[in-house]
């Protein structure tokens, strides 16, 4: 994916980086520090529990109760389901 902005950012006195202008489209980001020195910012969107339907919440609750009882399906092979993604869900 091509970059939409390219600039040098400097840490401030509190060791923070400011995203300029409209670059910060989200209020929350997952930060990933890679071994090669690259720092990735992935936008995250939190969902207010009040906006989740009662049916979905009931399904989640039943699933958690089944898991606590030891009733769980076999693991899903995500490499088969989502080929071409790395362990963090990013395109490989």
66 sits in which H/E element: helix 54-68
Q: Whole-model pTM?
A: 0.48
Our separate counts of H helices and E strands in the chain read 2, 2
Question: pLDDT tens digits, the chain, 92 residues: what are they?
Answer: 787 788 898 999 999 988 887 767 788 889 999 999 998 888 888 888 788 899 998 999 999 999 999 998 888 888 888 877 776 656 55
Measured between alpha carbons, how far is 66 from 71 in angstroms, rounded to an integer? 5
């Amino acid at each position: 994916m091509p970059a939409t902005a390219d600039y040098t950012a400097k840490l401030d006195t509190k060791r923070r980086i400011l995203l300029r202008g409209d670059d910060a489209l989200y209020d929350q980001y997952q930060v990933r520090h890679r071994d090669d020195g690259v720092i990735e910012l992935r936008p995250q969107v939190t969902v207010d529990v009040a906006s989740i339907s009662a049916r979905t919440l009931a399904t989640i609750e039943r699933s958690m109760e089944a898991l606590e009882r030891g009733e769980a399906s076999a693991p899903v092979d995500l490499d088969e389901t989502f080929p071409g993604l790395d362990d963090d869900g990013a395109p490989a």
